[in-house]
Amino acid sequence: MSAVDFEILLQQILNGLVLGSVYALVALGYTMVYGVLGLINFAHGEVVMIGALSTLSAARLLQSVLPGLPGPIVLLLSTLAAIPVCMALGYTIERVAYRPLRFAPRLAPLITAIGVSILLQNIAMVVWGRSYHSFPAYVSTEPFQVFGATMTPVQVVIIVVAMAIMAGLMFLVHRTKLGRAMRATAENQSVAGLMGVNINAIISITFVIGSALAAVAGVMVAANYSIAHYYMGFVLGLKAFTAAVLGGIGNLGGAVAGGLLLGLIESLGAGYIGDLTGGFMGSNYQDVFAFFVLIMVLVFRPSGLMGERVAERA
């Protein structure tokens, strides 16, 4: 392998890690909800989108009020403003669309979830318009060199913040009383209820935490690609779901591993697909990889890398 080849490989791996950290954050939201409710929250991707767009609005507002504020502070403050928005949204979604259907046939919550997703997308379209918004570089996107590969400060921030949040979440779930209640609810709702766990509160909290992560992930995607629009949540949600399945849905560590792995697969795949197929397919097929991975996992190891066996619920 020549030096240039190595640099390209390193570049793809770095890009993959950045992408993967974002997928992991979103995948955690899917996996947590799945853990406590056994339900795929289709609207999760839209929460990511709302997070990014409301951060953008908050940042614009902030800059018009205090023009001199440095970029990173603007981004931090507006993200902190967007997180409660998404939390409230997550809570409302659960309360309105899922809770009344908790004991309904399986098809019902799936359909309401799709309905909520469509609703949010179109509300976003009304509020923020159809056009693509450029997301200003609040954190510098001036590239620097790492062993011949280029990286931007915003990418470094993404990886660091994502890792910190994930570590925090692990601590919350495995070391605190709330986390124990969440795990108990995931294990067996009725027994957890008998042990004095407030099931409804725990489910709400799970949605709220997942939505907060989604808000942060939304800001990361928007900052990384410098773009935000009403449709950004859909494909991202699909991929993050794939990451959750890849890692083993319902398993937090699995979601992180699956997210990083999927990011790497996608980035390496998009980088090398041209060579592999003799130029027949290009990087415009990047979105196909996640789906291909999903099918392969479902065929060969439906329980994912770290999950338990997934069987049809009787």
Does 76 contact another protein by CB under 8 A? no
Residue 40 or 181 having the CB closest to another protein: 40
- In the complex, minimum distance from the CB of residue 314 to another protein, in angstroms, rounded to a whole number: 5
In angstroms, the CA 244 to CA 267 distance is 18
Residue 67 or 279 having the CB closest to another protein: 279
In angstroms, the CA 133 to CA 135 distance is 6
Residue 64 or 131 having the CB closest to another protein: 131
First vs last Cα of the chain: how many Å apart?
53
- In the complex, minimum distance from the CB of residue 229 to another protein, in angstroms, rounded to a whole number: 14
Residue 39 or 58 having the CB closest to another protein: 39
Is the distance from CB of 112 to CB of 97 less than 8 angstroms?
yes
Residue 70 or 279 having the CB closest to another protein: 279
Contacts with another protein in 92-111 (CB under 8 A)?
A: 96-97, 100-101, 104-111
Does 118 contact another protein by CB under 8 A? yes
- In the complex, minimum distance from the CB of residue 206 to another protein, in angstroms, rounded to a whole number: 17
Tell me if residue 144 falls in helix, strand or coil: strand
Is the distance from CB of 68 to CB of 57 less than 8 angstroms?
no
In angstroms, the CA 53 to CA 63 distance is 15
Selected range binding another protein among 49-57, 177-185, 218-226, 230-238, rule: CB under 8 A: 230-238
Tell me the residue length of the chain. Answer: 314
Q: Which residues of 216-227 are buried (b: 16+ CB within 10 A; e: fewer)?
A: bbbbbbbbbeee
Does 116 contact another protein by CB under 8 A? yes
Residue 61 or 104 having the CB closest to another protein: 104
Sign of CA dihedral 66, 71, 77, 80: positive
The closest of 263, 249, 264, 259 to 307, measured between CA atoms, is 249
Does 284 contact another protein by CB under 8 A? yes
Q: Which residues bind another protein (CB under 8 A)?
A: 39-40, 42, 96-97, 100-101, 104-112, 114-123, 125-126, 234-235, 238, 241-242, 245, 279-282, 284-285, 287-288, 290-291, 294-295, 298-299, 302, 310-314
